[in-house]
Amino acid sequence: MLDLAPLTVLVLGNSRPYLDQIERWNDQGFLTLSAVWTSPYPDEWDTWMRQINMERIDILFLAETSPALWEFLQLRKADRTLVLQPDTFWVLEMLMEQRAKVQEMHAILSSAYEGVQVVDAAGVVRYVNPAFTRITGVEAECRIGSNIFEVSPQGALAKTLETGKPVLGWRNTVLDTQVEVISNAFPIYVDGNLAGAVTTFREVAEKAEKPDKVKFLKKESPVSPAVLNGYATRHTFADIIGESSVLRETIELAKSVASSSSTLLITGESGTGKELFAQAIHSASRPDQPFVAVNCAAIPESLLESELFGYEKGAFTHASQKKPGKMELAHGGTLFLDEIGDMSYQLQAKLLRFLQTKQFERVGGTKPVEVQVRIIAATNCDLEQMVRQNRFRQDLYYRLNVLRLELPPLRSRLSDIPAIARHLLGKICKRLQIPEKAISNKALALFTDYHWPGNIRELESVLERLVHECPHETISAEAVVRQMKKLVAGQANPCKQADKAENEPILNLRTLEKRALIRAMERFGTTVEGKKQAASVLGISLATLYKKLKEYELDRKGG
């Protein structure tokens, strides 16, 4: 688990662009390029083989197609050495993709404020992060390799391995220390089998009991108790409608991270309910504390800093008195930063500073202000791609992406639409102060034939139009059909499409297949994960996709 040792690769042959890609991976630290050998003649194979210590080679890449040499290497290679050739280069791509994810995970865990410990199925400790040592005083080299049943037999990790189930809020003292911690442990399953477990933990404060609410606000919070009334949540997990397996899994994950103080990043398409989940998480763990939401896209860049951090008297024109920012108003509770991808690069640096120190300065201020706030950020942007494009700070991304919750789009849980539609319909009628309308099962079934790019927000908009347009107590299937036609027409004019199809020349199947491949690669990208998605959409296996890309000479576009 989290094995960061680079693979050792020996290249036989000097074929480009394979060597260029391997050298890039070497520069990135994903592998160690041992050597590049010119392909020897058959009568030199045995002599050449004796010069190589195969026990130290993880992968031998035969960059030129040579069946005889490939068979020779298979018979004489070490058991641990994997031999690849051009048509199996994708295996190396997949390994490097996994290695990149491991390094990214290591960076995230290293920056986490809470301690992290990972064990395998036998209980052997495979990884601890720097916060583990900071909290417990136990050095990583003293813990890694030991067995959790010996060093912490009463801890949350041991309990999780014994039961195969999560253990939340477990309180115990670290062996041979006076440090008391609260832990949350989760099992790790691979192909249905228990492969290990991971725990996050924090030190218990000396005074663990919760003080009186008003007393807490007077002593700890920079705002008055009256302010709290304006920043309460309206939703809990009970307000999340649906019984599909993908939604249930998402809810269970959200519940498991609710009690943590670690930063949480919620991702998902527009209209999937990111703030709803954020409120539910807050309600499950901090119901008596403020929940303050800030839409980073809705506030002008010039005002967002003072909105977040507040300002001192005289900081700028019309600043006649000191004003606390949303960060201070959220003290003790949750600050929800919606559309975090729209935050300016400069302000990202100040937010990063707060996440590292728990302190900030008001605009125009010189003294640090310290608050205890849990940050939940949300976005429908691809932050990883924005990091690669230098539009989002990589260090901030790691700080935000400590815990992550990915919300499924509505099209991936179509079975939930009837329940969601009925719930939304009742809410709309109540808001409009009209008698509640019903909707027929036939009409509800029609909703599942649409892909809902705007997700639940689009569904609610359609339902509200139906409420206004249908004079009867029950919304009919005919009315829904009319709305669906308008939605489809809004995306593409059917008449224009028909005219275009009439005049277009008939293309042969190979041209159509090549176009489909190009479109799929442009949409999903050329990473291994992108190719997996492309293969799934095209209805072919990953191996067939690689074969097709090579056949149409598109493989070099993917690296």
pTM: 0.52
Check: CB of residue 280 under 8 Å from CB of residue 236. yes
* pLDDT tens by residue, 78-124: 787 888 888 888 888 888 887 777 776 666 667 667 888 899 889 99
Pick 70 or 59 by higher pLDDT: 59
- The per-residue pLDDT for 335 is 94
Please give the CATH architecture assigned to the domain spanning 225-406.
3-Layer(aba) Sandwich (3.40)
- Most confident of the ranges 209-213, 333-337, 532-536: 333-337
Q: What is the largest CA-CA distance in the chain?
A: 91
Pick 493 or 94 by higher pLDDT: 94
Pick 557 or 330 by higher pLDDT: 330
In this model, does residue 195 exceed pLDDT 60?
yes
SS (H, E, C) 106-155: HHHHHHCCCEEEEEECCCEEEEECHHHHHHHCCCHHHHCCCEHHHHCCCC
157, 118, 335, 205 alpha-carbon torsion, rounded to 10°: 50
Q: What is 413-471 written as a DSSP string?
A: GGGGHHHHHHHHHHHHHHHHTSPPPEE-HHHHHHHTTS--TTHHHHHHHHHHHHHHH--
- The per-residue pLDDT for 210 is 41
Please give the CATH architecture assigned to the domain spanning 414-500.
Orthogonal Bundle (1.10)
Check: CB of residue 409 under 8 Å from CB of residue 364. no
What integer is the mean pLDDT of 148-156? 88
- Do 225-406 and 509-558 fold alike per CATH? no
Q: Does domain 509-558 have CATH number 1.10.10?
A: yes
Q: Which residues contact 48 (CB under 8 A, 6 or more apart)?
A: 37, 40
The two beta strands, 115-120 and 125-128, are antiparallel
In this model, does residue 206 exceed pLDDT 80?
no
Q: Which residues contact 377 (CB under 8 A, 6 or more apart)?
A: 263, 264, 265, 266, 336, 337, 338, 340, 400
Q: What is 15-53 written as a DSSP string?
A: -TTHHHHHHHHHHHTSEEEEEEEPPPPGGGHHHHHHTS-
Tokens of 385: 């791609």
Average pLDDT, the chain: 82
Beta bridge partners, 201, equal 115, 183
In this model, does residue 202 exceed pLDDT 60?
yes
Check: CB of residue 89 under 8 Å from CB of residue 236. no
* pLDDT tens by residue, 280-328: 999 998 888 899 999 998 888 778 888 899 888 766 666 667 788 899 8
- The per-residue pLDDT for 72 is 82
In this model, does residue 495 exceed pLDDT 50?
no
CA 517 to chain centre: 27
* pLDDT tens by residue, 427-446: 999 999 898 899 988 888 88
Check: CB of residue 172 under 8 Å from CB of residue 155. yes
CATH topology of domain 7-100: Rossmann fold (3.40.50)
pLDDT tier at 230, thresholds 50, 70, 90: low
pLDDT tier at 205, thresholds 50, 70, 90: low
CB atoms < 10 A from the CB of 236, how many? 15
pLDDT tier at 404, thresholds 50, 70, 90: very high
- The per-residue pLDDT for 315 is 63
Share of the chain above pLDDT 90, in %: 22
- The per-residue pLDDT for 5 is 67
Check: CB of residue 446 under 8 Å from CB of residue 487. no
- The per-residue pLDDT for 254 is 93
- The per-residue pLDDT for 271 is 92
DSSP 242: -
- The per-residue pLDDT for 375 is 95
- The per-residue pLDDT for 253 is 93
CB crowding 506-528: b at 16 or more within 10 Å, else e? eeeeeeeebeebeebbeebbbbb
Domain extents for the chain? 7-100, 112-203, 225-406, 414-500, 509-558
- The per-residue pLDDT for 224 is 38
**Which three-class secondary structure state does DSSP give residue 176?**
coil
Region 112-203: CATH code: 3.30.450.20
Comparing 34-38, 86-90, 462-466, which segment has the lowest mean pLDDT? 34-38
- The per-residue pLDDT for 529 is 74
